[in-house]
Structure 1
Amino acid sequence: MRAIDVMTTSVIYATPEMNIREAAGLLAEHSISAAPVVDVDGNLVGIVSEGDLLHRSEIGTGARRRSWWLQFLSSTRELAREYVKEHAQTVKDVMTTDVMTVYEDTPLGEVAELLERHRIKRVPVLKNGKVTGIVSRANLVRALASIEPAAAPLVTPDDAKLREAVLAAMAGERWGLARENVIVADGVVHLWGSITSDEESKALCIAAQSVPGVKEVVSHLAYPAPFPAM
């Protein structure tokens, strides 16, 4: 799936010259946490979010007064940036200008990685330099919930083929099992061997469960026995 398949297309925009109160009203009225900022030609120039409007002098949410030693340690650039966020009156002065973007044909895997890596909640989607949509974390969750479960195979693969498929699902993973530790009998996969964490055990079971035709996964995985005390 690509960004265009899940993105929200009814995008609410802000403008650079919009005042802060109007921007806050825009987010509140449409129940959104951020809005792309576009210029008169429709080009993306930034994004304004709840975080940009969080610390404001009008409502007493400005940054707390720093102690003298924190004032001394903070750079004048940092102190000036805080002042602008608290007192500026137009969107262009508080918006985030370094905006992460994707394209309509960007695979969802890349979108998810971008959101996670930069710790952001949404990303504008561009086509020919113009914003055509927004993909948020919520869009990705809804896409997952909408996927129809895979149909059960009409013919259950025999145990030998199932074993090869389970081994292939683990191939290339450092936590994968050796061939002799995967046994399949009547469609039931038995996993044997040593593990170093519960997460490793869970990953192995999920890899086996993901193979079409597997009826059940039985884990015999265990932590290595401790060495006896001397």
Structure 2
Amino acid sequence: MWARDVMTTSVIFATPEMSVLEVARLLVEHSVSAVPVTTADGKLIGIVSEGDLVHRGEIGTGGRRRSWWLEFLASSRELAGEYVKEHAQTVKDLMTVDVVTVNEDTPLSEVASLLERHRIKRVPVLEGGKVTGLVSRADLVRALASSTHDNKQEPVVRADEEIREAILNAMSGQRWALSRGQVIVNEGEVHLWGVILSEEERKAACIAAQGVPGVKQVISHLDYPVVLPSM
């Protein structure tokens, strides 16, 4: 799936000349958590989110408190930026200008990676230099909930060797991947053998196997290394 398949197209926009009060009301009235900021010709120049409006002097949340050593380590640029966020009166002074964007043909896997890597909740979708939609975390969750892919709905009959190859391919390239001899398949029942260093590795191996069509059951024999007592 691509960004165009899940994006919200009814986008509310702000202008750089809007006041902070106006953009706050815009978020509330339209029940959105962020708005792209565009010029008169539709060019994207920034974005304003709820996070930009949390620390404000008007509601007594300005003047962030931090320990003395964090205050000492904070750069003058960082402190000045915080002051601007707390006291700016117009959108052009408040908005985030380094906006992460995607286009309509961006795969959802890449969208998800961008959201995670930049620790953001949504990205504007651009086409021809103009915003055509927004993709948020909620849109990705709705896409998952609407997915019709479910291995349990239509059991797939596959040869055991074919299933094993598919499991090995699913794990390929992962540091926790099991070797061919550690994956045994018997009439669709998968047995995983080997040494793991964490429960996350066990879970990842099991999930990789469970995701292969034709797998009826996954049985883990994975265990931690044996620690010999010191002499």
TM-score (norm 2): 0.91
Where does residue 114 of structure 1 map in the other structure? 114
Where does residue 25 of structure 1 map in the other structure? 25
Q: 1:73 deviation in Å?
A: 6.0
Where does residue 104 of structure 1 map in the other structure? 104
Q: Structure 2 stretches of 5 or more lacking a match?
A: none
Q: What is the identity, as a one-letter code, of the residue corresponding to 2:84?
A: V
Q: 1:90 deviation in Å?
A: 0.9
Q: Deviations over 1:103-150 (max 9, x none)?
A: 111111111111111111101000111000000011111111111024
Q: Deviations over 1:29-80 (max 9, x none)?
A: 1111110001111111110111211121222111147899877765444443
- Decide whether aligned partners of structure 1 residues 200 and 77 sit closer, same or farther in structure 2, where only a CA change above 3 A counts: closer
Distance in 2, Cα, partners of 1:219 & 1:66: 48
Tell me whether 1:158 sits opposite 2:162 in the alignment.
no
CA contact (8 A) 2:103 2:126 kept: yes
Where does residue 188 of structure 1 map in the other structure? 189
Distance in 2, Cα, partners of 1:106 & 1:48: 23
Instruction: Give 1:76-225 correspondences, 5 Å limit.
Output: 76-150=76-150, 152-153=154-155, 156-225=157-226
CA contact (8 A) 2:47 2:96 kept: yes
- Decide whether aligned partners of structure 1 residues 172 and 79 sit closer, same or farther in structure 2, where only a CA change above 3 A counts: closer
Q: Which has the larger radius of gyration?
A: 1
- Decide whether aligned partners of structure 1 residues 73 and 146 sit closer, same or farther in structure 2, where only a CA change above 3 A counts: closer
Distance in 2, Cα, partners of 1:214 & 1:191: 13
Distance in 2, Cα, partners of 1:69 & 1:168: 50
Q: What is the identity, as a one-letter code, of the residue corresponding to 2:154?
A: A
Where does residue 8 of structure 1 map in the other structure? 8
Distance in 1, Cα, partners of 2:140 & 2:180: 35
Q: Which moved more, 1:114-123 or 1:60-69?
A: 60-69
Distance in 2, Cα, partners of 1:212 & 1:70: 52
Distance in 2, Cα, partners of 1:68 & 1:102: 40
After superposition, the CA RMSD in angstroms is 2.1
Q: What is the identity, as a one-letter code, of the residue corresponding to 1:219?
A: S
Q: Deviations over 1:170-226 (max 9, x none)?
A: 222221222222211221111111111111111111111111111101111111111
Distance in 2, Cα, partners of 1:191 & 1:67: 50
Distance in 2, Cα, partners of 1:95 & 1:5: 28
How many residue pairs match? The answer is 229
TM-score (norm 1): 0.91
Percent sequence identity is 69
Distance in 2, Cα, partners of 1:53 & 1:136: 19
Instruction: Give 1:26-41 correspondences, 5 Å limit.
Output: 26-41=26-41
Deviation >3 Å, runs of 4+: 64-80
Q: Which moved more, 1:94-103 or 1:70-79?
A: 70-79
Q: Structure 1 stretches of 5 or more lacking a match?
A: none
3-state secondary structure, aligned to 1:12: coil
Q: What is the identity, as a one-letter code, of the residue corresponding to 1:112?
A: A
CA contact (8 A) 2:55 2:64 kept: no
